[in-house]
Structure 1
């Protein structure tokens, strides 16, 4: 499905990003793993690792340049890098913590889109997939910065889609619900049980399931889809 495509995937050191990178490699893509963590093994396709700070414009520009320098083009961006927040009521808001989440989860996405789109315009085609969240669609008590950032990613992606709709570049977002990642595994059992109880399908999503949706949106099989947000949440936002 992705044979011959060149893809940059940020936040690919673990969880959803790692699952996306592995799937893309297995489907024949040439993968550029952008992360602050150590390299991962991508089975199947060719891959390189590039250390990147998505909040630093020069670092993001270098990431996209590395993709083109190594593989000759850039077809796909998966802007997945993000961080959670320390939840709390807004009257106790820590401005530095707020800004860190927005810098990574929103501005980092925007910078990746900026430099990926510039490279895709050279090809006259491309597919951007930005990672949002169910908290970009529904409220949650004590979630301020993360909810704000993810809601912004959804509408930012729509704007990008409309901007490039007639220039061959598609942009879509994916909003996962609760996913069984190493991060969630560290949570207390009662917290995980509460998550399960709120899932209509009765289980957490697997990273590999989210990766399948990302791969579809990145591929030519979704050629008519742009400006969409796919909720991959087991029915959470249908309640």
Structure 2
């Protein structure tokens, strides 16, 4: 992506403190965006900020995506810093829990639903309301949203009932939201990665890593940067005719 592809547009990335969120922040910054790195861990968000060239152009903030008031504070802080709300959004905050279905607890279920599905919904709603505030009429390209789903929602592996349910919900939410927002100049799409080498998957164990690698024609896990490339493309005007799409990034493991 060209260094001026985003021409100082403001981008909000939740879950920006690690993994695919961090990789996306770095690529957006390289492409000329002003990046609001938002994460439940402010320390992790600040570490992402420290990895960027010209970190003074960007902003690191703590956010709990399950709390509407916390999301509103992040949007307000971005507006105060840049004089306008973000026009690009990546919902990368997420959690994964593996558990036999019959052993799943209500507390763990609530956590996965609240972060992965409710959080994606709330952040997108607050973001779009701020973007549309004071605007009248349709414009061709006002903003763009990319949500992070998962191919797990397609293949539905065992021991992940709560996770796959939320990621299937993210795909359905993306398509419904896209249908409503397209005529307001806001495109909404999502990506569905396979197993990516991130802190979220670091604890799955070597035997399972080998199994996942063997399923891919490439023989390896994906890298966060490879998913970030697709996310940045979907945010850019190079994908201007993509609305409600769910792009799989799987290394051929899911076809």
The TM-score bracket by the shorter chain reads: over 0.9
What's the TM-score once normalised by structure 1's chain length? 0.95
Matched, 1:65 2:76: yes
Q: Which runs of 4+ in 1 moved over 4 A?
A: none
1:232 corresponds to which residue? Answer: 249
2:148 corresponds to which residue? Answer: 131
Structure 1 residue runs of 5 or longer lacking an equivalent are none
Structure 2 counterparts to residues 44-193 of structure 1, below 5 A: 44=53, 46-73=57-84, 74-88=86-100, 90-122=101-133, 125-193=142-210
Task: Return the offset for 1:44.
Answer: 3.6
Assess if the C-alpha contact under 8 Å between 1:64 and 1:116 holds in 2: yes
Partners in 2 of 1:183 and 1:5 — Cα distance?
A: 29
Greater displacement, 11-20 / 35-44: 35-44
Task: Return the offset for 1:56.
Answer: 0.6
What is the RMSD of the two structures over their aligned residues, measured on CA atoms?
1.4
Any idea what the Cα deviations from partners look like across 1:6-44, whole Å, max 9, x if unmatched?
000000111110000011111110000110121122524
Partners in 1 of 2:247 and 2:151 — Cα distance?
A: 10
User: Which of 30, 34, 40 is matched with 1:30 structurally?
Assistant: 34
For these two proteins, the number of residue pairs brought into alignment is 237
What's the TM-score once normalised by structure 2's chain length? 0.89
1:207 corresponds to which residue? Answer: 224
Partners in 2 of 1:150 and 1:188 — Cα distance?
A: 22
Partners in 2 of 1:137 and 1:121 — Cα distance?
A: 33
Matched, 1:4 2:8: yes
**Residue aligned with 1:25, SS:** helix
1:17 corresponds to which residue? Answer: 21
Assess if the C-alpha contact under 8 Å between 1:27 and 1:44 holds in 2: no
Greater displacement, 167-176 / 131-140: 131-140
Greater displacement, 142-151 / 175-184: 175-184
